[in-house]
Structure 1
Amino acid sequence: MTNQKSLFLGLIVGGVIGSVSALLSTPSSGREFRDQIKGNREKLEEIIVRLKNDSIALKEQLVKTAKESSEVVKEVSTDLQQSVKEWREEIAPHQQNLQKEIAEIEEKMKQLEQTLQK
């Protein structure tokens, strides 16, 4: 309990000493210092408002971009599926011809083997 009181007392005394030294070491009068603080506060408020507006605009842009990209992905997926389907339809006759030729080659190899075994 004593350590907490000592810490609290030290923080208060340090804060008071810091405040007094800041006021005494300022190169301007109290009125000028208050005006500077007020001006700085107004600038800070403007920056905060600007940041808030920019963040809202950024959020809206992100939502819009996400929707657009979702649509694009769907379109590309549909196009890709259609392309694969067309490709399969195009190669089907060739595939059948190749299978037929492979079967003929296998048959000829069997005949050749039988001829060589005789």
Structure 2
Amino acid sequence: MSKTKSFLLGIAVGGVVSATTTLFTAPLSGRDLRTRAKQQGAEWLDLLENVKNDGLKLKDQIAQTSKEGVVMIKDLTQEIKTSVTEWKESVEPHQKKIQSYLEQIEGSLKELEEKVKKRIV
């Protein structure tokens, strides 16, 4: 006999022996045991059905949340672009004033340098 057949025969014999032992040592009668097994089987089926339904609900919720997230990110991106544009528009006049002041300061520094050079020479 090959190892696989011996292994399978061992499992079968072990299963029969354990089932027989369980039936003889069971505290319940056969009818009560079958009823209880049937009830537990129904409970397991209900539990599996609930797990399946919860999994489907979770999948749907994740899909919905990701769709909402995409919309929110698009809206946020648009708001940021608008804010940056408004900020640039509000800062631009001040930039021109600062640039004008810097040009005046540069001109004053050149005049001062010329005066200093004339006094040194």
Q: Deviations over 1:53-89 (max 9, x none)?
A: 2222222222222222222211111111111100000
The aligned counterpart of 1:20 is: 20
TM-score, structure 1 normalization = 0.84
- What letter is aligned with 2:31? R
Q: CA deviation at 1:116?
A: 4.0
Find the counterpart in structure 2 of residue 62 from structure 1: 62
Residue in 2 that maps onto 1:11: 11
Pair 1:103 & 2:90 matched:
no
TM-score by length of 2: 0.82
Pair 1:83-2:83 in alignment: yes
Q: Provide structure 2 residue ranges, at least 5 long, that are not aligned to the other structure.
A: none
Out of 102-111 and 55-64, give the one that drifted further: 102-111
Percent of pairs with identical residues: 34
Cα distance in structure 2, aligned partners of 1:10 and 1:77: 67
Indicate the residue corresponding to 1:45 in structure 2.
Answer: 45
What is the count of residue pairs matched by the alignment? 118
Q: Output the amino acid matched with 2:47.
A: I
Q: Which runs of 5+ in 1 are unaligned?
A: none
- Greater mean alpha carbon deviation, residues 1-10 or residues 90-99: 1-10
* RMSD of equivalent CA atoms: 1.9
What residue in structure 2 maps to residue 93 of structure 1?
Answer: 93
The residue aligned with 2:72 is: 72
